Amino acid sequence: MDICVVGAGYVGLVTSACLAFLGNQVTAVEVNPGKLENLKKGDVPFFEPHLTDFVKNCLESGSLKFTADLDTGVKNAEVIFICVGTPPLANGESDLSQVMTVARGIGGALDNKRRRVIVNKSTVPVGSGNWVEMLVNQGVQTVQPVPARSSRSEAPSFSVVSNPEFLREGSAIADSFYPDRIVVGSVDEASIDLMRKLYNQILTQDFEPPECAPRPKGLEHVPFVLTDLASAELIKYSANAFLAMKISFANEVAGLCEKVGADIKQVTRGIGLDLRIGSPFLNAGVGWGGSCFGKDIQALMQVAREYHYPTHLLEATIKVNEHQRLVVIQKLQDELKIIKGRTVGLMGLSFKPNTDDLRDAPSLGIARQLIKMGVLVKVYDPVAMDICKTMHTDLDVQYATDLVDLATDCDALVVVTEWDEFKRANWREVSRVMRWPLVIDGRNVLQEDDITSHGMTYRGIGR
Ligand SMILES: NC(=O)c1ccc[n+]([C@@H]2O[C@H](COP(=O)([O-])OP(=O)(O)OC[C@H]3O[C@@H](n4cnc5c(N)ncnc54)[C@H](O)[C@@H]3O)[C@@H](O)[C@H]2O)c1
């Protein structure tokens, strides 16, 4: 199938490469000139395991092409994916300006040689399917005004479908080939058939898995959730809100565990084994972050506000998270008493492991707060330091070359991102170079004994 993907960021690039791998002809349209030049050479401008090799293979086979020209992409395509960013505005609403530009641009590039399906893969508020249809029509009108009495058949034919994305940075390729479900929102039979055909290999798991992403044992098919546009849009927001709520729940209980002398790891294991609850996303720590949870909850609340509908759980989810991000600072104060003039090393910058994404990363808020309190902040992250230096030039921190360099002369280390490298740290060496032997495990991932056996103090969250 000929496919156009507009926006080659985390979602667009992974979608492009995976669809190309499955035998489709994909044209990815990217507006950022620097990104585009790198992508044409096979250089992926962000860190995602295996993606560079994967993209290079697709480029070499000719199944994936990059261009800045939306017209070329649209003219050849049967299915056009919108995968541009929808970042939050200051008031919490989604900034839909990228979607607006692209939708009008697609309209301007449409011809009536074939019917197109335009797929909203970007996370967009409820009602955006209809809005995108309107914008595409506006784009059509700007280049080919349709006289009032002309036949409708002369106008380009298209339909807008919602197909929210659930991939997780860090495991994006596997998530694309083996998703828990594929959601499609549409009432147009022809579009539904085309989407089913496009995803058929994934739905039936009828493809040879790539080496970098073996098929999970026992996976034979993927559920296809067919629904209307508004429900598909709401599924995406509700899924993210629910996951964030689970983490905030664990964090709230973690605070109580500290008061009563319980251990949150035991408590979440005990409740997570209940199949109605499930263990994923019940981890206490410095709280959730990333490009999606915060912005999607805010956007969901904004939709609710438009309908004068209260969102108590969502508000509490955010409140708990805001509090949780600063819990490690309280722990530093508890242990060090005076923290002004101290040196604290942050282990990890990215909002989670296996990505260099710093959007809404807890590390940034913790670092800024510590700096404000007169602390010298050192940081180390296996992949996210270059992007941090480029994007957060105002962040007055010292960048370390490795964990031992980070620990040198520190009064405390704080685990902010649960990179595997930190779980395997040589604590004997770390303890030798620290000024004060304190480790705050902001993700509850370290082995307490490993640390205390070298004469260091260990403090977790909710334990
Ligand atoms: N990142 C994730 O883990 C994730 C997961 C699920 C859903 N989403 C959603 O998917 C959407 C995309 O997210 P992302 O993280 O990939 O964003 P991103 O910012 O990494 O990528 C967006 C890309 O679109 C490009 N772009 C912007 N305007 C364009 C235009 N007019 N023409 C062509 N390209 C254009 C940008 O240059 C950028 O490369 C968002 O709505 C997000 O909420 C993201």
| 267 and 187 within one domain | no
| 386 and 334 within one domain | yes
Domain that holds residue 344: 326-459
d(CA 233, CA 396): 40
Q: Is 30 in the pocket of ligand 1 (CB under 6 A)?
A: yes
Residue-wise pLDDT tens for the chain (463 aa)? 999 999 999 999 999 999 999 999 999 999 999 999 999 999 999 999 999 999 999 999 999 999 999 999 999 999 999 999 999 998 888 999 999 999 999 999 999 899 999 999 999 999 999 999 999 999 998 877 665 555 556 789 999 999 999 999 999 999 999 999 999 999 999 999 999 999 999 999 999 999 999 999 999 999 999 999 999 999 999 999 999 999 999 999 999 999 999 999 999 999 999 999 999 999 999 999 999 999 999 999 999 999 999 999 999 999 999 999 999 999 999 999 999 999 999 999 999 999 999 999 999 999 999 999 999 999 999 999 999 999 999 999 999 999 999 999 999 999 999 999 999 999 999 999 999 999 999 999 999 999 999 999 999 999 9
| 334 and 315 within one domain | no
Residues with Cβ within 8 Å of 228's Cβ and at least 6 positions away in sequence, in order, are: 185, 186, 187
Half-sphere exposure of 78 (CA within 13 A, CB side): 11
Atom of ligand 1 nearest to the CA of 35: 39
CATH code (residue 12): 3.40.50.720
| 223 and 281 within one domain | no
Rounded to 10 degrees, the C-alpha dihedral 443/449/455/456 comes to: 10
What's the total number of domains in the chain? 3
| 311 and 367 within one domain | no
| 60 and 155 within one domain | yes
Q: Which one of 18, 292, 388, 410 is the catalytic residue?
A: 292
Q: Is 74 in the pocket of ligand 1 (CB under 6 A)?
A: no
Q: Is 239 in the pocket of ligand 1 (CB under 6 A)?
A: no
Q: Is 104 in the pocket of ligand 1 (CB under 6 A)?
A: no
| 392 and 278 within one domain | no
Q: By the 8 A CB rule, do 248 and 297 touch?
A: no
> What are the beta bridge partners of residue 345?
378, 413
- Distance from Cα 132 to the centre of ligand 1, integer Å: 16
Atom of ligand 1 nearest to the CA of 292: 43
**Cα-Cα-Cα-Cα dihedral sign, residues 132, 134, 140, 141:** negative
* Amino acid sitting at position 106: I
Q: By the 8 A CB rule, do 3 and 79 touch?
A: yes
- Distance from Cα 424 to the centre of ligand 1, integer Å: 34
| 453 and 378 within one domain | yes
DSSP run (H or E) holding 448: helix 448-452
Region of residue 223 (left: phi > 0; alpha: psi -120 to 50; beta: else): beta
- Distance from Cα 289 to the centre of ligand 1, integer Å: 17
C-beta atoms surrounding 133 within 10 Å:
17
Q: Is 83 in the pocket of ligand 1 (CB under 6 A)?
A: yes
| 199 and 128 within one domain | yes
- Distance from Cα 87 to the centre of ligand 1, integer Å: 9
Tell me whether residue 58 is one of the annotated catalytic residues.
Answer: no
| 72 and 206 within one domain | yes
For ligand 1, mutation pick of 44, 84, 98, 387 (most atoms within 8 Å of CB): 84
Q: Which of 296, 323, 350 is the last residue of a domain?
A: 323
| 242 and 172 within one domain | no
Residue nearest to atom 28 of ligand 1 (CA): 98
Give the burial class of 166: count Cβ atoms within 10 A of its Cβ; 0-12 exposed, 13-18 middle, 19 or more buried: middle
Rounded to 10 degrees, the C-alpha dihedral 30/31/34/37 comes to: 40
